[in-house]
Structure 1
Amino acid sequence: MCTAATYKTADFYFGRTLDYEFSYGDEVTVTPRNYPLTFRHASAVSTHYAIIGMAHVAGDYPLYYDAFNEKGLCMAGLNFVGNASYQKPQEDHDNIAQFEFIPWILSQCASVKEARIRLAQMVLTDTPFNEQFAPAQLHWILADKNECIVIEPMADGLHIYDNPVGVLTNNPPFPQQLFSLNNYMNLSPKQPQNTFSADLPLTTYSRGMGALGLPGDLSSASRFARVAFTKSNARSGASELESVSQFFHILGSVDQQRGCCEVSDEKYEITLYTSCCNADKGIYYYTTYENHQITAVDMNRENLDGETLSRFPLVQGEQIRWEN
């Protein structure tokens, strides 16, 4: 289970949590402009936009979980189990396997507006990466500084929704998630007024009671509401440090701790990593479950005209700053 969000101050930020019970061996991976990207049913792309993101690299192919390109277009795939459905390749369409979707879009599109044109001609296929990696059941959030959309492949076709909240979690489908926010329209960062009864002398007894009723459990619907509220009311300075710090606090509202979500005997879903991308400056920030110190990789410090992947294994283990 995962949560993704956008955030805007002076720059545009995008990121996500990846919540799971184990890691495949994730690395921050830079795909330079001249790294050849091959696709199972479409023509290879030899020259393209540079991409940076979190990926599991298998057979020298970057299987991105979330990424953005040098133009500031951002994309992340999140679990959509039980609803995601892929098709067989079709003639007269761009047939793209599920695992190719992020590099296919980010290598060729500079904006959501351009991506919409590609999506109109695309079929997401059920082609597996190999025998070990079956197609993951996902839906995607795609965003730039101007707009945000959600892409959901379902049995009745590919659905594309405008996302005015700039947040995505997992099930149910996005229209239901968005509609559920009606349940919380009374929430406020301000202290509530007594509208219950004029005959009762009701008063607030704690700070923060304007948000009473905001769900605190770990379900995807509750995480959607919680991050939507947190993001909508988040305030920070416009500097890079203030913005990045605030973004991690926004996603920190849905951080999953080991032991709270048991998926099988003695196996627990945790927040393996949290990312924050400055899509304007090309910087990928992250923390991990065992390392709360923010680590950064700047794509512009790599040879973006190169032909090989740049890979950065995640920094694990707490990094504690001693002061005495």
Structure 2
Amino acid sequence: MKSSDGGILFARTMDWHAFAPSPITAPKNYQWHSSFNNDLITNSYSILGVGRNFVDRHADISDGVNEFGLAVQKLTFSNASQYNQKAESGKIALAPFEFVLWLLGNCQSVAEVIVKLNQVQLMTDEFALYKYGRADLHFSATDPTGRLISIEPLNGILVVKENPIGVVTNAPKLEREIEKLGDYLDLTDEKRGLNQISSGNFSGKSVFPGGFTPTTRFIRATVLKERAITPINEKSNVIETWHILNSVTVPKSDGRSDTYTIYRSAVDVKSKTLYFQAYDNFGIQTYRFPD
């Protein structure tokens, strides 16, 4: 979500099994070891994000922003991720959950992320020194330019897809999800406003669907973002964005699933501010980037 004062807010719900996430920082020159082969990695840039610290390993960051305003999220990929089993010589071999930590610690922008992707492989734990299990993940990244990309691990290769919608999804095949939006709004390249992607004509269009599948949540968030007012500043951007997140937040459920929205978070890539709300907390906590 963009605000008229130039701010850009990158927000998400984190839907997973119960764990205790919290805002964390990783300083410049933070050192850690790859869970795949124990190689030592030294980050160049400082990070403010959400995740947890493994006592015997390193920080596990699910989403955050670095000192240059690059913001990255890891997202579920609905059983579609295809990782590598054996590492190539000269490449950095990472567990998939470590990728956000590496990107934020070593890239300044989306453009640099794309250039550096060929340096990295995401690995299964079949030949790993540390067994980290399997988590199907893909990733989204943005920066102060407003460019938004998805990074999908397909056939062992990290594939970049431009995201012109400004809404992320857990569903694979982003282009197919975008096609489905045609039933709900008329997509256009002509800008009506900072956050609009349609002609504004909803006549004859379907009402957005309910439910908690990746597709229905993607459609619902896109339509609500399309029809939202334009925030005037960062504070109003957080307020409007949180109301949209309300529409896709998954409550705890008896029998449906043991996953739910563990937390909601957002970063403003211009001010490098983190907003965080745990499931059982009424308030939104604010964290400024460390000096």
Under TM normalisation by the shorter chain, which class is it?
A: 0.7 to 0.9
Shift of 1:51: 0.4
Of 167-176 and 273-282, more deviation after overlay is shown by: 167-176
In structure 1, the partner of 2:160 is 160
- 1:171-190: CA deviation from partner (whole Å, max 9, x where unpaired): 23222212221222359897
SS of alignment partner, residue 238 of structure 1: coil
Q: Distance in 2 between matches of 1:123 and 1:47?
A: 17
Answer yes or no: is 1:95 the counterpart of 2:93. yes
Q: How many residues align?
A: 273
In structure 1, the partner of 2:130 is 130
Answer yes or no: is 1:80 the counterpart of 2:77. yes
Q: Distance in 1 between matches of 2:75 and 2:82?
A: 14
Answer yes or no: is 1:239 the counterpart of 2:239. no
Answer yes or no: is 1:255 the counterpart of 2:252. no
Q: Distance in 2 between matches of 1:297 and 1:64?
A: 15
Counterpart AA for 2:208 = L
Decide whether aligned partners of structure 1 residues 185 and 22 sit closer, same or farther in structure 2, where only a CA change above 3 A counts: same
Decide whether aligned partners of structure 1 residues 160 and 213 sit closer, same or farther in structure 2, where only a CA change above 3 A counts: same
Q: State whether residues 2 and 230 of structure 2, in contact with CA within 8 Å, keep that contact through their aligned partners in structure 1.
A: no
SS of alignment partner, residue 85 of structure 1: coil
Decide whether aligned partners of structure 1 residues 129 and 286 sit closer, same or farther in structure 2, where only a CA change above 3 A counts: farther
- 1:83-140: CA deviation from partner (whole Å, max 9, x where unpaired): 1111021124333331221111111111000111001343222246833x31311011
Decide whether aligned partners of structure 1 residues 245 and 170 sit closer, same or farther in structure 2, where only a CA change above 3 A counts: same
Counterpart AA for 1:12 = I
In structure 2, the partner of 1:29 is 24
Q: Distance in 2 between matches of 1:91 and 1:257?
A: 45
In structure 1, the partner of 2:269 is 279
In structure 2, the partner of 1:11 is 7
Decide whether aligned partners of structure 1 residues 94 and 42 sit closer, same or farther in structure 2, where only a CA change above 3 A counts: farther
From 257, 266, 270, the equivalent of 2:260 is: 270
Q: State whether residues 65 and 71 of structure 2, in contact with CA within 8 Å, keep that contact through their aligned partners in structure 1.
A: yes
Shift of 1:17: 0.3
- 1:234-254: CA deviation from partner (whole Å, max 9, x where unpaired): 224322221111111121121
Q: Distance in 2 between matches of 1:191 and 1:118?
A: 41
Among all aligned residue pairs of Structure 1 and Structure 2, give the percentage whose two residues are the same amino acid: 27
Counterpart AA for 2:30 = Y
SS of alignment partner, residue 168 of structure 1: coil
Shift of 1:192: 6.1
- 1:5-33: CA deviation from partner (whole Å, max 9, x where unpaired): xx11121211210123412x212101111
- 1:289-318: CA deviation from partner (whole Å, max 9, x where unpaired): 221211112122xxx5xxxxxxxxxxxxxx
Decide whether aligned partners of structure 1 residues 189 and 275 sit closer, same or farther in structure 2, where only a CA change above 3 A counts: farther
Q: Distance in 1 between matches of 2:139 and 2:185?
A: 26
SS of alignment partner, residue 292 of structure 1: coil
Q: State whether residues 186 and 199 of structure 2, in contact with CA within 8 Å, keep that contact through their aligned partners in structure 1.
A: no
Counterpart AA for 2:175 = P
Q: What 5-or-longer segments of structure 1 have no aligned partner?
A: 1-6, 196-210, 305-324
Q: State whether residues 185 and 202 of structure 2, in contact with CA within 8 Å, keep that contact through their aligned partners in structure 1.
A: no
User: CA-atom RMSD, angstroms?
Assistant: 2.6
Between structure 1 and structure 2, the one with the greater Rg is: 1
Shift of 1:214: 0.7
Shift of 1:65: 1.0
1:1-324 aligned at under 5 Å gives the runs: 7-9=1-3, 10-23=6-19, 25-39=20-34, 40=36, 44-46=40-42, 48-58=44-54, 59=56, 61-87=58-84, 88-127=86-125, 130-131=130-131, 133-146=132-145, 147-155=147-155, 157-185=157-185, 212-259=206-253, 262-263=256-257, 268-300=258-290
Decide whether aligned partners of structure 1 residues 239 and 192 sit closer, same or farther in structure 2, where only a CA change above 3 A counts: closer
Q: State whether residues 99 and 129 of structure 1, in contact with CA within 8 Å, keep that contact through their aligned partners in structure 2.
A: no
Of 53-62 and 104-113, more deviation after overlay is shown by: 53-62
